[in-house]
């Protein structure tokens, strides 16, 4: 049997809850703090000793996860005061999100959103339970070739349009990234000095070289002549957009803000060991890379070219010697002179089928007697990529 004191205490609690409930009216929007969770409801402190309840389902996100924790403040609407305060966020949460989006639009601050799916012209982005649109051109600074790569990812966006009371919201991740770049550009420039070795991302590849993003929106040019010690390099053989590479700063023009970068400078100069690798009288395998008026250039190894001067060919009609060394041809060549200081090697074509041709000594380990010309001389790109991979 309940004692008098217990009855008084229970009555006092009921009376306090009733008075507290009468302080709020149905439909009133209030703010409270999450203080606990039950199996089906969450408990919200609405001031003093008053506690309200809210359906736990209303605190879950689209994936079914509770999106608040104890101590978090929420906005809700009073839906019942009989026997205690019951709250609901229906209509209130969306309104609060819309106010936040409008405030973010006017203040120019970033909001966090999840890329839900690809739609025509861009992406549908979810911010809380609100839907917004991000154009394809505004999802990244770099051009997006595969729109699906951004699906399911959470990013920071800038609200660039807010119309029709939040029904039309347009976002831009690109503007947010560009702003972050500008903020870090000054710091990045401090590290870009002649001789510095930096890591960057290949932004684009052109016929004459590649542009490397060094961070902070700052790009430098890696010219094709600075990619490899070989003269027959094609930029796309060495790098591809998106590659992370290490480069050396060669020149910085403060007036034009142009930055020149080098890749081959981080690799050993193949000419540094020419004196010990090539000896006058040796017969080696070579590939004709180009023809000039005074002779044919022959690649003896990656980055090492020799010259078969016109005077080394058998006498004949003017220009007839060209027929014996077409571009791309692989054959046996005798070393006739070596000048490491001037980076020059003289060679002479050895007649095919002669005993001397059988003495060929390939200096490229990948060379095979029955391999095609490109394989016999080895892939310049493979060698360079392999060397970079060991750094």
Q: What's the pLDDT at 355?
A: 74
Cα 210 to chain centroid distance, Å, stands at 15
Query: Rounded to 5 degrees, what are φ and ψ at 4?
Result: -60, -45
CA dihedral for 63, 66, 72, 76, sign (positive or negative): positive
| Spatial separation of the C-alpha atoms in residues 346 and 376, rounded to whole Å | 21
Structure tokens at 113: 């959103």
Mean pLDDT for 262-287 is 86
Residue of higher predicted confidence among 76 and 209: 209
Q: What is the pLDDT of residues 119-133, one digit of tens each?
A: 999 999 988 778 899
Q: Is 25 buried (19+), middle (13-18) or exposed (0-12) by CB count in 10 A?
A: exposed
| Spatial separation of the C-alpha atoms in residues 132 and 171, rounded to whole Å | 7
Structure tokens at 146: 């595969």
Q: Is 141 in a helix, a strand, or coil?
A: coil
CA dihedral for 136, 138, 139, 143, sign (positive or negative): positive
- Cβ–Cβ contacts within 10 Å for residue 375, how many? 14
Do residues 270 and 304 touch, judged by C-beta distance below 8 A?
A: yes
Q: What is the pLDDT of residues 293-338, one digit of tens each?
A: 899 999 888 788 899 998 898 887 777 888 888 988 888 999 999 9
Query: Rounded to 5 degrees, what are φ and ψ at 86?
Result: -115, 130
Of 45-49, 276-280, 363-367, minimum mean pLDDT range: 363-367
Give, in order, the Cα–Cα distances in Å from 309 to each of 230, 316, 335, 354: 20, 14, 12, 20
**Residue 290 confidence (pLDDT) above 50:** yes
| Spatial separation of the C-alpha atoms in residues 304 and 231, rounded to whole Å | 9
Q: Would you say the pTM of this structure is higher than 0.85?
A: no
Residue of higher predicted confidence among 317 and 209: 209
**Which residues contact residue 245 at a Cβ distance below 8 angstroms, ignoring those fewer than 6 apart?**
199, 200, 201, 202, 212, 239, 263, 388
Structure tokens at 167: 């029904």
Mean pLDDT of the chain: 80
**Residue 13 confidence (pLDDT) above 70:** no
Cα 63 to chain centroid distance, Å, stands at 29
pLDDT band at 138 (very low <50, low <70, confident <90, very high): very high
Q: Whole-angstrom distance between the N-terminal and C-terminal Cα of the chain?
A: 84
Q: What is the pLDDT of residues 90-104, one digit of tens each?
A: 654 555 567 778 888
**Which residues contact residue 76 at a Cβ distance below 8 angstroms, ignoring those fewer than 6 apart?**
29, 30, 31, 32, 44, 52, 54, 87, 88, 89, 92
Task: Please report the domains of the chain, with CATH numbers, ordered by start residue.
Answer: 4-90 (2.40.50.140), 97-177 (2.40.50.140), 192-266 (2.40.50.140), 270-386 (2.40.50.140)
**Residue 211 confidence (pLDDT) above 90:** yes
Token look-up 């000594």 returns: 361
**Which residues contact residue 292 at a Cβ distance below 8 angstroms, ignoring those fewer than 6 apart?**
none
Q: What's the pLDDT at 49?
A: 59
Residue of higher predicted confidence among 354 and 251: 251
Report the greatest alpha carbon distance in the chain. 131
Percent of the chain residues topping a pLDDT of 90:
25
Do residues 101 and 69 touch, judged by C-beta distance below 8 A?
A: no
């Amino acid at each position: 049997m309940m004692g008098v004191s217990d009855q008084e205490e229970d009555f006092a609690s009921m009376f306090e809850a009733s008075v507290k409930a009468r302080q709020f009216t149905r439909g009133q929007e209030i703010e409270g703090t999450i203080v606990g969770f039950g199996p089906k409801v969450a408990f919200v402190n609405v001031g003093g000793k008053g506690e309200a309840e809210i359906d736990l389902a209303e605190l879950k996100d689209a994936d079914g996860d509770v999106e608040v924790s104890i101590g978090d403040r929420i906005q809700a609407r009073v839906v019942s005061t009989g026997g205690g305060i019951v709250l609901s966020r229906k209509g209130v949460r969306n309104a609060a999100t819309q106010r936040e989006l409008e405030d973010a639009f006017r203040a120019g601050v970033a909001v966090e959103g999840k890329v839900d799916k690809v739609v025509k012209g861009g992406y549908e982005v979810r911010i809380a339970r609100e839907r917004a649109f991000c154009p394809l051109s505004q999802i990244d600074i770099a051009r997006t070739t595969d729109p699906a790569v951004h699906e399911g990812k959470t990013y920071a966006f800038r609200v660039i349009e807010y119309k029709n009371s939040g029904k039309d919201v347009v976002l831009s991740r690109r503007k947010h990234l560009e702003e972050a770049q500008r903020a870090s550009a000054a710091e990045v420039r401090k590290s870009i000095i002649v001789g510095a070795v930096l890591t960057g991302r290949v932004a684009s590849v052109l016929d004459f070289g590649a542009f490397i993003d060094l961070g902070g929106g700052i790009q430098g040019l890696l010219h094709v002549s600075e990619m490899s010690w070989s003269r027959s390099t094609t930029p796309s053989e060495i790098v591809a957009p998106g590659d992370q590479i290490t480069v050396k700063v060669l020149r910085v023009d403060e007036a034009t803000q142009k930055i020149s970068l080098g890749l081959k400078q981080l690799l050993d100069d193949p000419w540094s060991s020419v004196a010990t690798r090539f000896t006058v009288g040796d017969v080696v395998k070579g590939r004709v890379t180009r023809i000039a008026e005074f002779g044919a250039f022959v690649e003896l190894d990656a980055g090492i070219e020799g010259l078969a001067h016109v005077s080394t060919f058998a006498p004949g009609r003017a220009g007839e010697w060209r027929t014996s060394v077409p571009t791309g041809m692989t054959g046996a060549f005798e070393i006739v002179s070596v000048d490491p200081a001037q980076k020059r090697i003289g060679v002479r074509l050895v007649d095919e089928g002669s005993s001397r041709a059988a003495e060929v000594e390939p200096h490229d380990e990948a060379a095979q007697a029955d391999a095609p010309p490109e394989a016999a001389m080895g892939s310049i790109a493979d060698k360079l990529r392999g060397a970079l991979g060991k750094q």
